[in-house]
Amino acid sequence: MENLEHTLDVARLVIGLLATVVVLGFAAKRVLWLTKLISSGQKLGDERGRKDDLARRFLNQNKEVFAQSKLLKWSIPGIAHFFTMWGFFVLASVYLEAYGVLFDPKFAIPFVGHWAVLGFLQDFFALAVLAGIIVFAIIRLTKNPDTIGRESRFYGSHNGGAWEILIMIFLVILTYAIFRGAAVNVLGEHFPYQNGAFFSDGMAALLAPLGHTANVWIETIALLAHIGVMLVFLLIVLHSKHLHIGLAPINVTFKRLPDGLGPLLPMEYQGEPIDFDDPAEDAVFGRGRIEDFTWKANLDMSTCTECGRCQSQCPAWNTGKPLSPKLVMMNLRDHLFAKAPYIIEGKPMPEAGSVDFATLGDSLHGHGVPEDGFARIEGSGPEQALRPLVGTAEQGGVIDPDVLWSCTNCGACVEQCPVDIEHIDHIVDMRRYQVMVESEFPGELGVLFKNLELKGNPGARTPKNAPPGSTSWTSTSRSTAKTWTVSRGSSTCSGWAAPGRMRTAPKRPPRPSLNCSPPPG
């Protein structure tokens, strides 16, 4: 028996370490690739502003990530997520023990490794995580987009991937339970938790009738399986929407303060606000390619969990429009990742005009969603590199114009998003490019732009017929632009327009601008 135990101890040490080294190598490569891709975005205009006020950012991160303040607004899934997340923090101590056991079967964490409280918490959270994934499974089944269609907040999400993760979490708990039960039987008085580990003791009672030799084998196999599941889980997380596990704290830290619902950001190019009187020769107005977005936008895209909370609250989506803020973020992310070889790996860009998008058709509707623009063209071929960021199905666009112009800028998506994605900034930036560079916008906006052009305000009003309730209304002429400001109640909106330049060619600055600020304080 001693020989068998010794042989198994050596075998599991070799297998466990080897698998860990190989997987960590792949994981590190992926992390470097993701870091390079996300940071390939443009600088932010308020680069320093996103990194100052660290105490406030730290507190906010604790509130949103550790206390789950946004997720808990939805009580049942919020509580399930709370226990699942904290379960993983506590169960990290079990993985520490698992690696220790590879080297020494009687390993215990220094100082706290024999505390009954820790043994209890490990077992309690293992069961809490199990309860959490059962709740998630029930929510997924009752909100199945295959049966309730657009009413489901998961409509358009990678639902297969979500089930894959739930199964992986279940396997983590299953292997934990078997490993711990067998360990109690094999180690006896050397098991670290003589009290408190109630679930492990229960599993031990179930496995005890199989005999000592069987428990020795079971402990070794379950230990390796427990480590193996974690390693596979790590790779899945790094290649799926579950990237949010690592990215959400970072995204929350660099959010706009107090939130992304403040005034629109100025139009920026390479981290500097554009001077409309004298724009740089190569300045890009808004975002016309995926490479034009900032690193924070890239981070937003990569952090989306596909939870669909934004979609469920979006007035456009709920009134049958094609816009889903979730699908916008997913489509941008999928396009960014598919175009990565051209952005960060040095793959040469195909010649402009070398792809005939009209011949590609629009048969590829990934996620089974007609509004899904990314899936019109998949893979990293030349079509992916050259497709327009905004365009119809025939043009191979990533975001459909109907999607882009359905947004009311109401902010419900930003308010709901548990990982603080700033949808409106990205939607507005894409619109800016469409208006100012492409001169592509819905016909209904023609009157508004004309009024801005000729009267300097969107309603063709003059100072004499300022809207009731306005406390000030000005319209002044400069050499190339008119500006206006209107205050109503405690809010102020101002704008300016460059007359005669509304429908000009790329790189010329027609640039109407509208900026509304909330009341001070």
Binding residues for ligand SF4, rule: CB under 6 A, are 304-310, 314-316, 323, 325-326, 329, 407-413, 416-417, 419, 421, 423-424
Beta bridge partners of 7: none
User: What is the rounded distance in angstroms from the CA atom of residue 121 to the CA atom of residue 109?
Assistant: 14
Beta bridge partners of 514: 495
Taking the least distance from each CB to ligand SF4, the nearer of 118 and 323 is 323
Shortest distance (Å) from residue 460 CB to ligand SF4 = 26
Taking the least distance from each CB to ligand SF4, the nearer of 38 and 222 is 38
Shortest distance (Å) from residue 269 CB to ligand SF4 = 24
Phi, psi torsion values for 294, nearest 5 degrees: -80, 170
Taking the least distance from each CB to ligand SF4, the nearer of 405 and 449 is 405
SS3 content of the chain, % helix, strand, coil (to 5): 55, 5, 35
- Cα 188 to chain centroid distance, Å, stands at 46
Taking the least distance from each CB to ligand SF4, the nearer of 20 and 311 is 311
User: What is the rounded distance in angstroms from the CA atom of residue 180 to the CA atom of residue 183?
Assistant: 5
Which residue type, as a one-letter code, is found at position 25? Answer: G
Shortest distance (Å) from residue 426 CB to ligand SF4 = 10
Taking the least distance from each CB to ligand SF4, the nearer of 38 and 421 is 421
Taking the least distance from each CB to ligand SF4, the nearer of 5 and 402 is 402
The tokens describing 246, both together, are: 């690592």
Q: Are 241 and 304 in contact (CB under 8 A)?
A: yes
> Measuring CA to CA, which residue among 416, 413, 428, 57 is closest to residue 255?
57
Shortest distance (Å) from residue 166 CB to ligand SF4 = 17
Which residue type, as a one-letter code, is found at position 242? Answer: H
Tell me the three state secondary structure of residue 488.
strand
Q: Are 493 and 515 in contact (CB under 8 A)?
A: yes
Shortest distance (Å) from residue 237 CB to ligand SF4 = 15
Q: Are 244 and 305 in contact (CB under 8 A)?
A: yes
Taking the least distance from each CB to ligand SF4, the nearer of 12 and 242 is 242
> Measuring CA to CA, which residue among 133, 37, 43 is closest to residue 83?
133
Shortest distance (Å) from residue 418 CB to ligand SF4 = 6
User: What is the rounded distance in angstroms from the CA atom of residue 260 to the CA atom of residue 256?
Assistant: 5
Taking the least distance from each CB to ligand SF4, the nearer of 102 and 424 is 424
Beta bridge partners of 496: 483, 513
User: What is the rounded distance in angstroms from the CA atom of residue 455 to the CA atom of residue 489?
Assistant: 23
Shortest distance (Å) from residue 297 CB to ligand SF4 = 12
Taking the least distance from each CB to ligand SF4, the nearer of 186 and 299 is 299
User: What is the rounded distance in angstroms from the CA atom of residue 122 to the CA atom of residue 89?
Assistant: 10
Taking the least distance from each CB to ligand SF4, the nearer of 323 and 486 is 323
CA dihedral for 166, 69, 34, 38, sign (positive or negative): positive
Shortest distance (Å) from residue 340 CB to ligand SF4 = 20
Shortest distance (Å) from residue 497 CB to ligand SF4 = 23
The tokens describing 450, both together, are: 């004309």
Tell me the three state secondary structure of residue 323.
coil
Shortest distance (Å) from residue 343 CB to ligand SF4 = 22
